[in-house]
Structure 1
Amino acid sequence: MSDYLSVSALTKYIKYKFDQDPHLQTVLLKGELSNFKKHSSGHLYFNVKDKNSVISAMMFKGNASKIDFEPKEGDEVLLEARVSVYERRGNYQIYVNKMHIDGIGNLYQKLEQLKKKLTKDGYFDSNHKKLIPKFPQKIAVLTAGTGAAIRDIHTTINSRYPLAEQIQINTLVQGEQAKNDIIEKIKQADELNVDTIIIGRGGGSIEDLWNFNEEDVVKAIYACETPIISAVGHETDFTLSDFVADVRAATPTQAAVMATPDQYELRQYLQQLKLSLTRFINQHIQQQRKHLEHVASYYKFKTPTLLYDQQIQKRDDLEKQLNLNINFKINQHNQQLQLMKQNFNLKYFKQSIQREQTTISQKQMELNKLMNHYITKQKNNLTAKLESLNNLSPTNTMLRGYTIVNKEDKVITSTNDLVENDNIVLTMKDGIVDAQVKKVRCNDDQ
């Protein structure tokens, strides 16, 4: 047993080796900050990564107070540090003495700019979010055909709600062709008449997840008519697809949980409903049975004639009263009819008609007389006016020897309107004479 080392002993030995190596005492590193956290004590804890590797790091409060900028996620930095081992967890890490900014991470900067733009355009507004169906019949799963994500989703759905049909759509989730493939598969899934779409993949760096930050992918998710659950990366990974999706799941497993009800909870709920319904039905039957027994004990049901003998007597009374009322009305109307006959004398009525006919004949004769007199008077007036008009007529005037003088189609009524050599037209009773003025003599010239 003495040949076996404890874990603590081995860890101390490895730490000793790190601390004694002069090449690890001062190391200059260049990388990107991730998982950056500032402890309440003032110490900084973070990771430094590049495309292929990640190193855990910490910076004590004293050294952190000397930093000339505000470190944040995605910053590209230059570090001076020593490499050692954290004994409690057995992890190697770097202890940073100095940190300088080496420019902002391009992808993080691009991500923030795109996030602001899409937020302003309303792609992340909550009023565009659709509800996830509680009891889906079909679920489309868009992810890589192999890997933990698809296994976790399928296993969880089969365990929770095996009634749901799963439609797996193999999708590229990384690489240059992934963006177009994701957009195409979203449109394809939207046309399958499924209830829910899950878009997912495992975790990774911002570069690995970048296809889910592409603007065209965000717009494709926004335009999708089917509710979408985004499950991209791990719990701490956020992409723009998460913000535009109807629901964001921290992991693919959680996405499957959000998309389906739990069959065991449903069974338990249905069992509770069954018990409640059975209890309610039994109580209702008991209540109705008691009510029936109470009604059956009523004395009138024991002697059924009591239910209708009073009604028969009442019907007879009403029939008798009805007959009396009818006879009374008939007698009353007969009396009124006799009275009207007495007041109405047919002989007197005929005499009245004859008197009115005589009066009408007299009035008609008087009217004819007045009309004839009026017509004769109007004829005489018309004849007198026609004679007066005829006396004033130019034709009659010309019959008495007068002539009408016209010059240029105008009637001449004064010698002042004529001059020597004027051509004039003389209209007489039996014709027209064309003439020329030789001399004009006015009454004033005599």
Structure 2
Amino acid sequence: MSDYLSVSAITKYIKYKFDQDPHLQSVLIKGELSNFKKHSSGHLYFNVKDKNSVISAMMFKGNASKMDFDPKEGDEVLLEARVSVYERRGNYQIYVNKMHIDGVGNLYQKLEQLKKKLTKEGFFDQSQKQLIPKFPKKIAVLTAGTGAAIRDIHTTINSRYPLAEQIQINTLVQGAQAKNDIIDKIQQADELDVDTIIIGRGGGSIEDLWNFNEEDVVKAIYNCVTPVISAVGHETDYTLSDFVADVRAATPTQAAVIATPDQHELRQYLKQTNLSLTRFIRQHLHQQRKHLEHVSSYYKFKTPTLLYDQQIQKRDDLEKQLKLAINQNINNEQQRLELLKNQFNLKKFKASINREQLTTKQRYNELNKVMHNYFINQKNDLARKLEGLNNLSPTNTMLRGYTIVNKGDDVITSTNDLSENDNIVLTMKDGVVDAQVKKVRCNDE
């Protein structure tokens, strides 16, 4: 039994072999992310796969924080990792040190970033979308001059609505010069007074369709006054031009269907409308005829004078009543005017005015007398107060032989405030004396 190894022992040995192999310490792997999870610790757990195989992988938080993109399910990535064995499960896995988005993945990442930016700026708002005219007179078609897209659009429009004039504008849809050419052709089409613009091309890879993801192309479509139908790619090929266009068509053929009505459906509709309108007119005429017969049988129409005899008499009665009412109103107003004249006596009014004027003059004289006496009393009172104030002033006091003693800024009022050799100032009626205290004698000594 001693020859048998435990599961842990063989697993440790295999792990040791992996860890010692220099070829497995740093390997470069290309693949697609699947089963991607970010742990609360910040570590990443995922699988890397291709068409034939799957490898378990993890990336520690420290390495994950250095990535220049946010990985997600389905991303094509380039990895730098070491290969080892996870002993607990006995599985081999890779520990990723660095992760970068693959070339095409970079385009998808750039596409998502630009989509978020333009969405935030309002380029894809539904409120900005225009309605596609139902019966267009002119349709501008921007696509390559040759290929299935232009043939499908022309064939479909001719089949559905041959009345629409098609204006073909040959446009580069792929390559380095395509972006500027697409923008120029969109602006050119917008100035042609067409009803609808179709921008289309066949499907392709993200690289082939990339010109329709360019921000300047998106803004050119957004600024179009003419409604735009985007038919770039096929069912699963979405570009930013599809999001900003007024309508997105899955294929060029569908774009032509959206842009035009079906002539067969229109004929059927016109035929049905003609039948409905004819039926309605017949019913309306029948109803109006019956109404006319009913009205014409009315007895007053057989004797037309009955329609206005009563009204003439009624008008005469109303006229008579109006004249009576006017005369009565005039009489009432004349009587009221006479009463007012009787009440209004001019002599009495003048006498009343004279009395009021005399009373006003007397009160005016009385008021002047009262005000004169009041001012005299106030003047005398002010003179008495000024005389009393003058008697109390320090100047008059000094005139009687008194002196003001200052020690510094303080006025001395008691011998207790002075000491021998204090410097004092004596203010008299005719000047100031600087003095020094020789001796202080209080009354109680």
The answer to whether the superposition gives a TM-score over 0.5 is: yes
1:228 equivalent in structure 2: 229
- The 5-angstrom pairing of residues 83-122 of structure 1 reads 114=108, 118=112, 121=116
What displacement does 1:158 show?
2.2
2:328 equivalent in structure 1: 328
Partners of 1:126 and 1:376 lie apart in 2 by: 91
> One-letter code of the match for 1:114?
Y
Contact 2:424–2:437 (CA<8 Å) still a contact in 1? no
- The 5-angstrom pairing of residues 268-417 of structure 1 reads 268-285=268-285, 287-288=287-288, 290-292=290-292, 294-296=294-296, 298-408=298-408, 410-417=410-417
Contact 1:142–1:197 (CA<8 Å) still a contact in 2? yes
Partners of 2:200 and 2:271 lie apart in 1 by: 34
Contact 1:76–1:105 (CA<8 Å) still a contact in 2? no
What displacement does 1:432 show?
1.1
Q: Is the partner of 1:308 in helix, strand or coil?
A: helix
Q: Is the partner of 1:443 in helix, strand or coil?
A: coil
> One-letter code of the match for 1:227?
V
1:443 equivalent in structure 2: 442
- Give the % identical residues: 58
Partners of 2:105 and 2:130 lie apart in 1 by: 25
Q: Deviations over 1:356-393 (max 9, x none)?
A: 44544444444444334433333332232222112112
- For residue 240 of structure 1, the aligned residue among 238, 241, 264 is 238
What displacement does 1:126 show?
9.8
Q: Deviations over 1:49-74 (max 9, x none)?
A: xxxxxxxxxxxxxxxxxxxxxxxxx9
Q: Is the partner of 1:257 in helix, strand or coil?
A: helix
1:249 equivalent in structure 2: 250
1:217 equivalent in structure 2: 213
What displacement does 1:438 show?
5.3
What displacement does 1:199 show?
1.4
Any stretches of 5+ residues in structure 2 without a counterpart? 1-48, 54-75, 79-100
Any stretches of 5+ residues in structure 1 without a counterpart? 1-73, 79-103
> One-letter code of the match for 2:236?
F
Q: Deviations over 1:258-298 (max 9, x none)?
A: 33222333234334434444454454455445545554554
Contact 1:145–1:170 (CA<8 Å) still a contact in 2? yes
> One-letter code of the match for 1:393?
S
How many residues in Structure 1 have an aligned counterpart in Structure 2? Answer: 334
Q: Is the partner of 1:328 in helix, strand or coil?
A: helix
Partners of 2:231 and 2:313 lie apart in 1 by: 82
- TM-score of the two chains, using structure 2 as the length reference: 0.59
Partners of 2:348 and 2:238 lie apart in 1 by: 111
Q: Is the partner of 1:388 in helix, strand or coil?
A: helix
**CA RMSD of superposed structures (Å):** 4.5
Contact 1:421–1:436 (CA<8 Å) still a contact in 2? no
Q: Is the partner of 1:211 in helix, strand or coil?
A: coil
- TM-score of the two chains, using structure 1 as the length reference: 0.58
Q: Is the partner of 2:330 in helix, strand or coil?
A: helix
Partners of 2:144 and 2:350 lie apart in 1 by: 116
Partners of 1:144 and 1:127 lie apart in 2 by: 29
What displacement does 1:197 show?
1.6
Change (3 A) 1:424 1:253: closer
Change (3 A) 1:346 1:168: closer
Q: Deviations over 1:310-332 (max 9, x none)?
A: 22322222222222222323333
Change (3 A) 1:216 1:441: same
Q: Deviations over 1:390-427 (max 9, x none)?
A: 21122222222223334445543334444555554443
Partners of 1:368 and 1:149 lie apart in 2 by: 113
Partners of 2:268 and 2:312 lie apart in 1 by: 61
What displacement does 1:439 show?
1.7
Partners of 2:379 and 2:242 lie apart in 1 by: 107
Contact 1:186–1:220 (CA<8 Å) still a contact in 2? no
1:5 equivalent in structure 2: none
Q: Deviations over 1:248-267 (max 9, x none)?
A: 435x4444333322233323
Partners of 2:356 and 2:365 lie apart in 1 by: 14
- The 5-angstrom pairing of residues 62-211 of structure 1 reads 76=51, 114=108, 118=112, 121=116, 132-171=132-171, 178-191=174-187, 192-193=189-190, 195-201=196-202, 209-211=205-207
Partners of 2:175 and 2:131 lie apart in 1 by: 26
What displacement does 1:77 show?
5.1
Please identify the structure whose Cα radius of gyration is greater: 1
> One-letter code of the match for 2:442?
N
1:9 equivalent in structure 2: none
Partners of 1:435 and 1:253 lie apart in 2 by: 122
Partners of 2:206 and 2:319 lie apart in 1 by: 97
Partners of 1:215 and 1:144 lie apart in 2 by: 14
